[in-house]
Structure formats: C-alpha cells, structure tokens
Amino acid sequence: MADLTPMRVVFDTSVLVAAARSRQGASFALVSLIPASDFQICLSVGLYAEWQEVLTRAEHLPPGHTAEEALGFLRYLASQAHLQEIHFLWRPFLPDADDDMILELAFAAGCRHIVTHNVRDFRGAEQLGVTPISPGDFLNLIRPRP
C-alpha cells in the first residue's frame, strides 16, 4: 500500500511575501493549495513570529488589506501546519541565523524541502538531507505537467 502521508516542507517567509504581493506566481499558487494532499507545511514558534513580523509590515500588505487580516490569514496557515518543537541547535550552520532557524525546523520535522526564493542562502542544507527549492520548481515537483 502506498504511503499517503503528505510530504513535509517549510515555506520560507519569502514565499509568503511573494504570495501577498502577487496572485500570478508560483508562491500564490502554492499557498492557495493549503491544505494540500501532497504536502504539509511545518512551522515552529520562531518561524511563526517571523511571519507575523514581516507580513504585517505595510509594504507587504496586499492593497486594501490590514495587518489584522494578515494575522488572520497567518493563524489559518498555522492551523493547517505541523507544529514542530526544536530540541537542538547547531548554529551557526548557514551564514544567516534566520536561515539556520528554518533549516533546524526542516531537519527536526523531517522535511525534504525548504521552499524559498533564496535557494542560494541555504547552500549546505543538503548535508542534512534537506533540499532548498524555488516555489516554481516545487510546484512542478508536486504537479508535474503532462
């Protein structure tokens, strides 16, 4: 019998920012799929705090939307996510501590991918079995074209 467990992934904050700015790209398409049968986003308290801090900034709010609406959407995403506690830290591993936080989450949750617009920032993650991937490439991975 095939494993029907969705693949676990982490969405970097850059994916949510891109989805908020445009309904045309792969980021919006991925966020719109949640809840998805083929993937589940994973979340830590630290990443959720980063999402809140970044996505409630005026420059990241979609036109006509408020910070409170953004928080409501983030609460929805959190309700659909696998909340992962992280019991170990190996920092620094990557050049940016915020990226380390995301890599630690991905590793602890058993994620295969970190979906990000900043793939280069996660060079070396493969050593831990986690592959950084762009939103477009991840969308193509889960929804191959005929």
Domain residue limits, the chain: 7-141
Mean pLDDT over each residue of the chain, to the nearest integer: 91
Write out the H or E segment, with its range, that includes residue 50.
helix 45-55
Hey, how many other C-beta atoms are within 10 angstroms of the C-beta on 23?
A: 12
Please give the pLDDT value at position 38.
Answer: 92
Is it the case that residue 87 has pLDDT exceeding 70? yes
Please tell me the pTM assigned to this model: 0.92
Write out the H or E segment, with its range, that includes residue 114.
strand 113-115
Split at pLDDT 50, 70, 90, the class of 145 is low
Is it the case that residue 1 has pLDDT exceeding 50? no
Q: 7-141: which CATH number, 3.40.50.1000, 3.40.50.1010, 3.40.50.360, 3.40.190.10? A: 3.40.50.1010
CB 5 within 8 A of CB 39: no
Please give the pLDDT value at position 146.
Answer: 61
Lowest mean pLDDT among 59-73, 82-96, 100-114, 128-142: 82-96
* Average pLDDT rounded to a whole number, residues 94-112: 90
Is it the case that residue 91 has pLDDT exceeding 70? no
CB under 8 Å to 37, separation ≥6 — which residues? 6
Tell me which residue has tokens 């170990």: 88
* Average pLDDT rounded to a whole number, residues 49-57: 97
* Average pLDDT rounded to a whole number, residues 72-79: 97
